[in-house]
Amino acid sequence: MTRRMKASLVLASFAVAAAAGSAALASPSATPGVTKRTITIGGTFPLTGPAALYGAIPKAEAAYFSYVNAHGGVNGRQIVFKVYDDGYNPANTVPLTKKLVEQDHVFAVYSSLGTAPNLAIRDYLNKRGVPQVLLATGDSYWGSQYKQYPWTFGFNPSYPGESRVYGKFIASKVPQAKIGILVQDDAYGQNYYDGLVQGLGAAKSKIVDVEKYDPTQTDISAQVVKLKAAGANVLVIFALPTQTITALVVTTKIGWKPTTFINNVSESPLFMYLAQKSGANVDGDITSDYLYDYFNNPNSATTKLFKSIVAKYDPSANPLDINIEYAFANAWTLVYALKQAGKDPTRQSFMDALTHLNVTNPFLYAGTKMVTTPTERFPIDQQILAQYQNGVWHPFGHIFSNAR
């Protein structure tokens, strides 16, 4: 045996020993993620890649948790929030989530972002009894498939619920409607479309054209031009922010001013501002809101609290970015449920807290309440329509319920 080979064998055995050692050190406690002083949660988010603009969400959630930690934490425990970057690629989401559960021993997987990423980890988490909660995605099955996946719990109002509201509004308030729809060509878009058709009821015969686009297409001007050519006077846009902005700009460019509906995902004042600066005429456009109306209540206690937390813990956040507001509402819900889960929370008591909500979330639209039961698992099912005027969304009309 040469000296080199001896050396290699020694090194190899050291490696094996080290691995064994580290494996032994990671011994879980009774309730994973909960110690006397801390409670650990974590999620996967697209911090890089095409969906990276949603990276603002975990940043803002972390900011809120810092604020809560500075004020005693949750029942005396500090929240430890692990954020992993999956780039919206399920092949990254799965190993990172396994890391959260098996290495970091999180109490719950919190606020993971995206439909496909969450679908990829749903079976794994449910099999292990790990809460998969307050997901940053709005498809309806997060709330409806609870029998099969009891540990999964959504947050966003469902997409079909939202579009149902638009449908009902058009059916009752826009009798001469000729509806043109721009929709993403996948399950995300299909979700919205189905809800709209349900809400329209008999008025669905007024749909004159449906144009689809692929998420990788940023230039959808062709589709918009065709919608105008079909004679539509109502334009419903179920798209991602990039394409929504383009659609709004192109609509104005070709001299068209239909009554326009924009989905909640794309209605951030930031995007409206971008569209407007690029020449879109967006006054009069309609969307639905469920978050607290900071812009029209600049001096309320909630707004002041919101601004102070952001200034202290997330100062680089863009004030026009609605993701921050969303994040606070979501983070508040987590903290509330953790508190309700008791002095010694277990995963089961936590899920029970989430499925028995009956509380006003200060970061949601004033006058709405989060109400859940074990069989009704949509924490947000109240929305209000809002119209864009002079740079601000103005809620109008009454609060729509059961938008689930």
Identify residues 317-336 at the interface with another protein (CB under 8 A).
318, 321
Alpha helices in 133-186 (DSSP H): 141-144, 159-173
231 near another protein, judged by CB under 8 A: no
90 near another protein, judged by CB under 8 A: yes
Among residues 294 and 313, whose Cβ is nearest to another protein? 313
Q: How far apart are CA 6 and CA 326, in angstroms?
A: 59
> Can you tell me which of 174, 187, 366, 371 binds another protein, judged by CB under 8 A?
187
> Can you tell me which of 102, 173, 201, 360 binds another protein, judged by CB under 8 A?
102
Among residues 213 and 328, whose Cβ is nearest to another protein? 213
Looking only at residues 264 through 293 of this chain, which bind another protein when binding is defined by CB under 8 A?
270-271, 273-275, 277-280
Which of the stretches 149-157, 159-167, 186-194, 394-402 binds another protein when contact is defined by CB under 8 A?
186-194
Residues in contact with another protein, counted by CB under 8 A, come to a total of 91
Rg of the chain over CA atoms, in angstroms?
23
Q: How far apart are CA 329 and CA 383, in angstroms?
A: 14
203 near another protein, judged by CB under 8 A: no
Among residues 70 and 229, whose Cβ is nearest to another protein? 229
Among residues 130 and 270, whose Cβ is nearest to another protein? 270
Among residues 212 and 369, whose Cβ is nearest to another protein? 212
129 near another protein, judged by CB under 8 A: no
> Any residues with CB less than 8 A from the CB of 308 and at least 6 apart, and which?
none
Q: How far apart are CA 153 and CA 173, in angstroms?
A: 34
Least distance between another protein and beta carbon 213 (Å): 5
Let me know: does 96 contact 43? Beta carbons within 8 Å: no
Least distance between another protein and beta carbon 253 (Å): 6
> Can you tell me which of 115, 156, 163, 264 binds another protein, judged by CB under 8 A?
115
CB burial class (10 A; 0-12, 13-18, 19+) of residue 277? exposed
Looking only at residues 3 through 62 of this chain, which bind another protein when binding is defined by CB under 8 A?
4-5, 8-9, 12, 15-17, 19-20, 23, 26, 42, 47-50, 52-53, 55-56, 58-59, 62
**CA atoms 69, 74, 78, 80: torsion sign:** negative
Among residues 91 and 311, whose Cβ is nearest to another protein? 91
CB atoms within 10 A of CB 123: 11
194 closest CA partner among 183, 208, 179: 183
Question: Hey, is 74 helix, strand or coil?
Answer: strand
221 near another protein, judged by CB under 8 A: yes
Let me know: does 211 contact 195? Beta carbons within 8 Å: no
263 closest CA partner among 333, 395, 164: 164
Least distance between another protein and beta carbon 30 (Å): 19
Among residues 70 and 222, whose Cβ is nearest to another protein? 222
> Any residues with CB less than 8 A from the CB of 365 and at least 6 apart, and which?
289, 290, 291, 292, 293, 382, 383, 384, 395, 399
> Can you tell me which of 98, 204, 356, 394 binds another protein, judged by CB under 8 A?
98
